[in-house]
Amino acid sequence: MTDEPKAASTAEALQQWRTAERAAAVARRGRLAAEEAASAAAGAAEAAQATAAAARAALDAMTLAEASAAKTAAAAALIARTAIADVADATADTALADLSEAEAQLRYRDAAGRAGDRG
């Protein structure tokens, strides 16, 4: 952030706080969605692996079923890795948004305190 933020008016500080609060809420929802996607992708990867194992046991369609299941497992694993990375990004975004919100809240409280001191 900056070394010395300029003193904001109470209204400006409140607006900054509200903006930061909305950004934090959006980031939290994004993180939750990314976590849900990661969980679903992990389940899909497990299901794809089970399908691959069952396909190997089916002699009549083994070659075709195994190749298809392996492709599905690879795709699911890629989605799982991507979703996990999204969770990490969303977590970082949430942390930054929470920090921004806390800073905005402090600026608001400082501005409100100065306004109260003036009278």
Q: Is the pLDDT of residue 23 over 70?
A: yes
pLDDT of res. 52: 79
Q: 3-state secondary structure string, 31-98?
A: HHHHHHHHHHHHHHHHHHHHHHHHHHHCCCCHHHHHHHHHHHHHHHHHHHHHHHHHHHHHHHHHHHHH
pLDDT of res. 12: 93
- Read off the pLDDT of residues 55-83 as tens digits, 9 standing for 90 and up: 777 767 778 877 888 999 899 899 889 98
Name the band, by pLDDT with cuts 50, 70 and 90, for residue 108: very high
